[in-house]
Structure 1
Amino acid sequence: MKEIQDIVAAYARHQEAGLQTALATVVKVEGSAYRRPGARMLVAEDGQLTGAISGGCLEGDALRKARLAMAQGKPTLVKYDTMDDDDAKLGVGLGCNGIIHILIEPLLPFLQVNQIALLQDLVQNRQTGVLVTLFSLQDRKGPQPGTCLLLKQDGALNRAGLGALLEDNLLQEARTALHTGVSTILDNLPPGNLTAFVEVVKPAIAVVICGAGNDVMPLVQMTHVLGWPTTVIDGRAAYATQARFPTAHQVLVAKPEAVLSQLTVDQHTVFLLFTHNYNYDLAMLRQLLPLSLPYIGVLGPKKKIDRLLTELRDEGHSLTPEFLKGLFGPTGLDIGAETPEEIALSVVAEIKKVLSQRRGTSLREKETPIHFPALEEAKR
């Protein structure tokens, strides 16, 4: 989502400057590649690039092809084959072992569906959405329909003028992807044997940090870099200030009982208790008990979390398996973290691991490809 956020912001700047732009999207990968389907890069006619479609080896050639697509005013599908000697001659050294298909769409003012508008819709509304991008592998020089449909979690639909049969098929596949949360590639769609990239796009992780001490500062800096909107809350007005946390989405002074009324909490929201105040943490946990949260991190030793849970039980609260599954105390991965910066790294890494449904092991220990879908990996 961070990449999409940056692209939407860059497009607005280029529009103000009167620059032509094109959107390059990785739509299909066969074998190994640095980026997977859904990776995007915005190209401006003056050479400015936002986002990435590779580790840096494709961007130069993609820039040239994007400028040609802008001049011609039509989308183009580009294929890069890491095993093709011609690519090596062109200086495209990918360092991988696969084939990458990239759709380049010039962003024209008369387009029926503006691709950036669809991306902006995803950024502004915290909903999971499904984007459908159509392209033709069979006829690369023929028409490339491009990004044509967005289905959001609330059922809202934005689409181009597709044929009735094709639209019905794509809508059904989009609903299935929305339900499973898994992106997919569909081949040989009529008419014209088109291919569809049905992409599930989830909102950015929203982070709520209770506690505004100095050790929270590097944590907020890291979440900002990741594009995770972050709220910092503390009961102490001298600590909870925007000046201390300039990159935070918002900074609030509030007692635990008044926190939730000032927030919008969804299934992609995580809470971190960094107050160093046992009573504040306990009161905050009471507020969070009824919510279905994927991650609640509590700073401090295991004895602290055990004491908190015991006190909650003694008060008569029911600690459901779902609540306990999402409770992480001590918070963070075991990477030997000591400094506030290292602790922030371990916490951010654990949040990403949990919400991505990964195991958090070293990549060299994986028996499956790096980008093997998490849901499929869990079945093994």
Structure 2
Amino acid sequence: MVYHFICKNVINEFQQIIRAYRKTDFSQRKAALATVVGLSGSGYRRPGARMYITDDGQWMGAISGGCLEGDALRKAREVMQTRQARLVTYDTSDPEGENFGIGLGCNGVLDVLIQAIDPNDPENPLETLDRVMQDRRPLTFETALPDGAGIFVEELKPDIQLLVFGGGYDAVPLVKLAKQIGWRVVITDDCVAHLQPRRFGEADEMLAVQRDEIRQQIPVDSYSAAVLISHNFKYDRAVLQELLQTDIRYIGLLGPKKRGDALLDEVADFVKPEDEKRLFWPVGLDVGADNPQEIALSILAEIQAVFRKTSAQPLKFKNAPIHQPVSSISLLEKNQ
């Protein structure tokens, strides 16, 4: 069987796992990685979810809502000792069942691959994941399952990169919340005095860039979103003009609609009809946001919806499963 799943921008979940892996003292500890590789029915976590485990009982990440981690920890310790990968199936479909001491009722069957981690192997799965995150390029990642059970194929994509233009007070919660989600964050301003480490210490980069250097200095890629939050009309106009000449997928303009209209009028020569799909003004979803923290929430929720191509409507109105079905194809089907 080939388990095939497209991981859409979930690479951000792996940052804490990578950090935990880097901090592990392998002269004292052993470690393993549990990965959800198959799902039939519904489940709290999707294929590609990971859990990093050390032999002292510590773990980072999750393969369920908390109900399977204890059993996975026990099995991971066995794998650490034998150095033999193991494929474990968890049936959570019986709400009255006594699996693992609790009736889970998730109505799904999960297949979880548990692998010992060799820190001396440059091709171990965590080293591979780290390279994807650093290179910011999509990667098809294939993992052979034990005993010829099949291959788990993931199409991993980089996390969202948030470009924040403007280092004012209301940019602070935007940067903090984006980092809590796991995104890569770059904050820039044309005034270096606005870029204070004590305010934006969570940011991956702080760049003081002049207006005519934006395209040359700012690391725009196809997984980037920009928010113009400087409160300086001339600066926002210069930034907007430069961004419209890139392939960035999302441009959000803070402030009332009239201000956004005026900005767009001044850069009309650079606006194409198709740009309407990537321009958002006023920026953010209508969630009644008032203070900077709430505004940051509304902005990031809108960006997430755009990148995941969802409606951003309440799930109660969705007449379909929350997630797209997981596709599994046989080896025979793959080779035909």
What TM-score comes out, normalization by structure 2 length?
0.89
Counterparts of 1:28 and 1:89, CA distance in 2: 18
Match in the other structure for 2:208: 253
Number of corresponding residues:
316
Partner of 1:236: 191
Structure 2 unaligned runs (5+)? Answer: 1-10, 327-336
State the alpha-carbon separation in 2 of the partners of residues 332 and 35 from structure 1.
27
Q: Aligned pair in 2 of structure 1 residues 326, 17: CA closer, same or farther (>3 Å)?
A: farther
Mapping of residues 126-145 of structure 1, within 5 Å: 126-135=136-145, 143-144=146-147
Q: Once the two structures are superposed, what CA deviation does each residue of 1:210-259 show, in whole Å capped at 9, x if it has no partner? A: 11111111111101111212111122333222222111112222332123
Which amino acid letter does the alignment assign opposite residue 223 of structure 1? A
Partner of 2:56: 46
In the TM superposition, what is the alpha-carbon distance from 1:91 to its structure 2 partner? 1.6
Determine helix, strand or coil for the equivalent of 2:24.
Answer: helix
- Picking from 358, 365, 373, the partner of 2:317 is 365
Aligned: 1:264 with 2:219: yes
Written as runs of structure 1 = structure 2, the 5 A alignment for 1:201-220 is 201-220=156-175
CA–CA distance in 1 between the matches of 2:321 and 2:246?
Answer: 35
Q: Secondary structure at the match of 2:93?
A: coil
User: 2:23 maps to what in 1?
Assistant: 13
Give per-residue Cα distances to partners, 1:128-177, cap 9 Å, x unaligned. 11111232xxxxxxx44xxxxxxxxxxxxxxxxxxxxxxxxxxxxxxxxx
| 1:227 equivalenced with 2:182 (yes/no) | yes
Give the secondary-structure state (helix, strand or coil) at the position aligned to 2:193.
Answer: coil
Instruction: Flag the 1:243–1:44 CA change in 2: closer, same or farther, 3 A.
Output: same
Distance 1:91 1:272 in 2: 48
**Equivalent residue in structure 2 for 1:303, among 228, 251, 258:** 258
Relative distance call for 1:85 and 1:291 in structure 2 (3 A) is closer
Map of 1:199 onto structure 2: 154
- Using the aligned pairs only, state the percent identity: 43
* Partner amino acid, structure 2, of 1:248: A
Task: Indicate the SS of the match to 1:243.
Answer: helix
CA RMSD of aligned residues (A): 2.0
2:285 corresponding residue in structure 1: 333
Distance 1:201 1:105 in 2: 19
Q: How far, CA to CA, are the matches of 1:85 and 1:333 in structure 2?
A: 37
Counterpart of 2:73 (choices 45, 50, 63) is 63
Counterpart Cα distance in 2 of 1:243 and 1:109 = 34
The answer for the alignment partner of 1:116 in structure 2 is 126
Tell me which residue corresponds to 2:305: 353
Call closer, same or farther: CA 1:112–1:240 in 2, change over 3 Å. Answer: closer
Could you say if the C-alpha distance between residues 371 and 17 of structure 1 is closer, same or farther in structure 2, counting changes exceeding 3 Å? farther
Q: Alignment partner for residue 312 of structure 1, among 262, 267, 291?
A: 267
Which residue identity lines up with residue 301 of structure 2 in the other structure? A
Change (3 A) 1:278 1:17: farther
Q: Which residue of 1 aligns with 2:6?
A: none
1:68-93 Cα offsets, whole Å, 9 max, x none, are: 11112101111111135896252244
Query: What SS does the corresponding residue of 1:99 show, helix, strand or coil?
Result: strand
Query: Do the aligned residues in 1 keep the contact of 2:95 with 2:103 (CA within 8 Å)?
Result: no
Task: Note if contact 1:57-1:93 (Cα within 8 Å) is conserved in structure 2.
Answer: no
In structure 1, the residue matched to 2:234 is 279
For residues 22-33 of structure 1, the aligned pairs below 5 Å read 22-33=32-43
> Normalising by structure 1, what TM-score?
0.79
Q: Residue 280 and residue 112 in structure 1: after superposition, are their counterparts in 2 closer, same or farther (change >3 A)?
A: closer
What is the deviation of 1:19? 1.2
Equivalent of 2:249, from 269, 289, 294? Answer: 294
